[in-house]
Amino acid sequence: MKGTWENKIICFCIFFFGSGFSLLAQDYNFSQFWENRTYYNPAYVGLHEGELNSLLTYRKLWPKFDGNFSTVFFSADLKTYNNYGFGLTFISGDEGGGFIKSTSAGLSYSWRGYFNKEKNIFFQLGIRGSYNHEKLNFNKYIFSGQLHEIYGNIFPQPDLQGIEKKQNYWDFSTGALVCIPWQRHYQEFMTNYIGFSVSHFTRPKDNFIEDDYKLPIKVSFQWNGFLRTSLRSLDKKSYLYLCPGLIFENQGDKLLSSSSFNNFVVGSDLTTDPLFAGIWYSSQLLNNSDENYKALIFKFGVKLNSEKKNFQYRLAYTYDMSLGNLTKNTEGSHEISINVVYRFNAKYRYNIYSF
């Protein structure tokens, strides 16, 4: 019994007080940020013409803790034959073994403009509106006043007046991206996607304590490149690709300060059809203290196409290996995603950038 309630207290302290946002949890994070790109930036909605892209992601954070920290994310998006893209997102989170449960459903819209249509140099602007519901369950948490130094949890729960147990709010995010292909000998050999997004720009109230606290704005910068090498893939039908990328997130009342939450991930995938793998490094750049969370992220997956090339199936798994003091207590994090792409236009069935 003692180990159980001690773990719950440790878990609660790390999650809430470590986040720096009182009883407010920071935004969800994913190791596979390219797969979950529409979550980070609505401008990525409808990125590939002639495709309906759907994704289901499950993330399990710190499985060694008794309290469950997990996230489920679903998205679907498509680009029509004009310059418009449409998408929907759904996200569900369980924080602290049911202490906070949250759900969010959103709709996204993007518009594409071309700098040079012949060379496929374009930009996209996107916006997302979402409706959010959050619920507190204090029966899942043990307060210090309930604990006896010998017998553990034997005292009644204290009165929690002034704390809301449910809340609903609207939230909006916006973003932009630029696609820049590089050519060599009149052939495209690398494509770069550079994005920037601003989340929660309307600053909705998101605090169970009854005050005027508002959700801090989050800014994010993303870059992904797809470099075609001269080597052939395992299937002998396509080329081997090197896929570097990075993402930087910053959220807080004072952006780019040590008091704000920040996350930086950099690394690369190697794609040799039908397999791909990658290694990434995650850190909090603006946090120089011992609480700076660092991790190595290992990625493995497989990508398959249907016989007629109109369907593509992509399964990816990542493991976050925590570095430092958290390694012993957390056992890292697991994330798995299933991506299904339907190419409804035969002209685009051989789109090599559907990674």
Mean pLDDT over each residue of the chain, to the nearest integer:
82
Mean pLDDT across 147-176: 74
Give pLDDT, residue 284. Answer: 82
Burial class (CB in 10 A: 0-12, 13-18, 19+), 113: exposed
* Chain-centroid distance, C-alpha 194: 17
Window from 18-27, 39-48, 158-167, 335-344 with minimum mean pLDDT: 18-27
Domains contained in the chain, CATH given = 2-348 (2.40.160.40)
Mean pLDDT across 203-232: 85
Query: What is the phi-psi region of residue 9: left when phi exceeds 0, alpha when psi lies from -120 to 50, beta otherwise?
Result: alpha
Instruction: With a cut of 50, say whether residue 28 has pLDDT above it.
Output: yes
Burial class (CB in 10 A: 0-12, 13-18, 19+), 159: exposed
Instruction: With a cut of 60, say whether residue 11 has pLDDT above it.
Output: no
Residue whose C-alpha is closest to residue 91's, from 83, 78, 101: 101
CB-based contact 262:226 (threshold 8 Å):
no
pTM, entire model: 0.84
How many angstroms separate the Cα of 272 from the Cα of each of 231, 243, 302, 352?
Answer: 9, 11, 9, 12
Reported as a single tens digit per residue, the pLDDT across 238-277 is 788 999 999 999 988 777 776 778 889 999 999 988 999 9
Reported as a single tens digit per residue, the pLDDT across 311-333 is 999 999 999 998 876 656 667 89
